[in-house]
């Protein structure tokens, strides 16, 4: 009979068990963590206010109809035009988001390849992209339900509205500066005026004084030409300070 050293035999088996056990726990923990991470990714866009408004407007009807006639009388039926306007607003917001996604896509993927941004950003981005596709389809369907064939042109008009609002915003920004600019120019004009008046006075004094002393005009002459070629704005200022 072969004498088996059971204790000695346990060691290699324990080694195998520990090894495989470690690998298994590691992989399960790793996968679980990955899953929770991707589940908890923050959405790319914030809450869609326009969609929420549209949906709440749309769902006011059944509630009012479903309960009682008195309630229906209290909350009048939402006019069709308001719902349409809400849908158009929603489409405009979608256009903004789509533009953002389209411009970001090439940049995001190239940055991901270079390792300048993280993997989870790309995941979030892809999720947002898919979400937007669904959203667009939903808007088209809703539009078709509200008015036949509206789905084909709703995004065209939304696009124009979006472009227009951007333009208007920029114009407003520029317009907002006018007050300040006006104020500054008023102030500047008055200082320039007083300066030039002073200068005129000085010059008239000089012409009078020329007869008296010989040195002074020479000094002034050497000073001015060296100062003028520097810069228009600068020399003006300096004169103002004298």
Partner 1 sequence: MGADYAYDEEGYLWPFFVFTLTFIVTLPLTYLLVSRSRDPAAALKRVQSDYRHEHADLVDTLRKQEKRKDRKLWLLAFVMAGWAVMGYMLYLINTTEAPTQKIWNPYDILSIPESASIKVIKSTYKKLSLRFHPDKIRPDASRNETLEDLNARYVEISKAYQALTDEEVRNNYIQYGNPDGKQGYSINIALPKAMVSDGNGKYIVLIYSALFGVLLPYLVGSWWYGTLRRSKEGSLMESANRLFRAYQDDIDEGGVITALSEGKEYEDLFKGNKADSQLSRIESKILAEGELSPFAGGLSVKHKEKLQNLESGPQRKALALLWAYLGRVELDDPALNKAKLEVAPISHALNKSFTAISLAYMNTAPLLASYYTSQLLIQALPPKSSPLLQLPYFTPKIVKAVEGDSRIRTSVQSFMDRPDSKRRSLVVGKNLLTEQQYKEAVKVAKQLPYLRVAKAYFKVTGERCIIPSSLVTLVVKGRFVPPGSEKLPEVNEPDLEDIDPAEDDLDAILGRKTKKQIGKDENGKPIMSADSEPILPPLASAPYFARDHSPRWHVFLTDSKQGRVAVPPFTFAQFDRPVFQEDGRTPTFAMQTLKAQFQAPPQAGHYTFVMHVVCDSYVGFDTKMEVTLIVDEASKAAEMADDDQISEPDEGWSTTFLP
- Output 147 or 163, the one with its CB closest to partner 1: 163
Strands (E), the chain: none
| CA 58 to chain CA mean position, Å | 29
CB 209 within 8 A of CB 220: no
Which token pair is 45? 């866009």
Query: Residue 62, interface with partner 1 (CB under 8 A)?
Result: no
Q: How many other β-carbons are positioned within 10 Å of the β-carbon of residue 237?
A: 12
Which of 108, 143, 154, 158 touches partner 1 by CB under 8 A? 108
Among 21, 43, 79, 118, binds partner 1 (CB under 8 A): 118
Note whether 69 binds partner 1 by CB under 8 A.
no
Q: CA 27 to CA 48: how far, in whole Å?
A: 38
How far lies 4's CA from each of 94, 155, 169, in Å? 76, 82, 88
Q: Indicate whether 30 belongs to the interface with partner 1 (CB under 8 A).
A: no
Q: Let me know: does 51 contact 110? Beta carbons within 8 Å.
A: no
Applying the rule CB under 8 A, the residues between 1 and 20 that interact with partner 1 are 11
Q: Which is nearer to partner 1, 14 or 35 (CB)?
A: 14
114 touching partner 1, by CB under 8 A:
yes
CB of 72 to partner 1, least distance (A): 42
Where on the chain is the footprint of partner 1 (CB under 8 A)?
11, 22, 44, 103-104, 106-108, 110-111, 114-121, 184, 187-188, 191, 226-227, 230-231, 233-234, 236-238, 240-241
């Amino acid at each position: 009979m072969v004498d088996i050293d059971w204790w000695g035999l346990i060691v290699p088996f324990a080694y195998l068990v520990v090894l495989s056990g470690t690998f298994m726990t590691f992989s399960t923990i790793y996968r679980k963590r990955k899953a929770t991470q991707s589940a908890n990714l923050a959405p790319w866009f914030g809450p869609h206010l326009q969609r929420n408004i549209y949906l709440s407007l749309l769902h006011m009807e059944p509630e009012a109809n479903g309960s009682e006639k008195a309630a229906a009388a209290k909350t009048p039926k939402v006019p069709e035009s308001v719902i349409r306007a809400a849908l158009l607003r929603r489409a405009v917001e979608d256009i903004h988001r789509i533009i953002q996604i389209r411009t970001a896509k090439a940049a995001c993927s190239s940055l991901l390849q270079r390792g300048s941004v993280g993997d989870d950003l790309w995941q979030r981005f892809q999720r947002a992209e898919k979400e937007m596709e669904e959203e667009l389809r939903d808007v088209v369907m809703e539009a078709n339900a509200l008015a036949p064939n509206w789905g084909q042109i709703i995004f065209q008009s939304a696009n124009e509205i979006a472009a227009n609002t951007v333009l208007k915003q920029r114009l407003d920004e520029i317009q907002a500066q006018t007050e300040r600019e006006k104020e500054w120019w008023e102030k500047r004009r008055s200082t320039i005026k007083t300066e030039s008046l002073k200068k005129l006075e000085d010059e008239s004094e000089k012409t009078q004084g020329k007869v008296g002393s010989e040195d002074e005009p020479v000094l002034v002459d050497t000073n001015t030409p060296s100062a003028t070629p520097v810069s228009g704005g600068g020399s003006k200022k300096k004169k103002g300070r004298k």
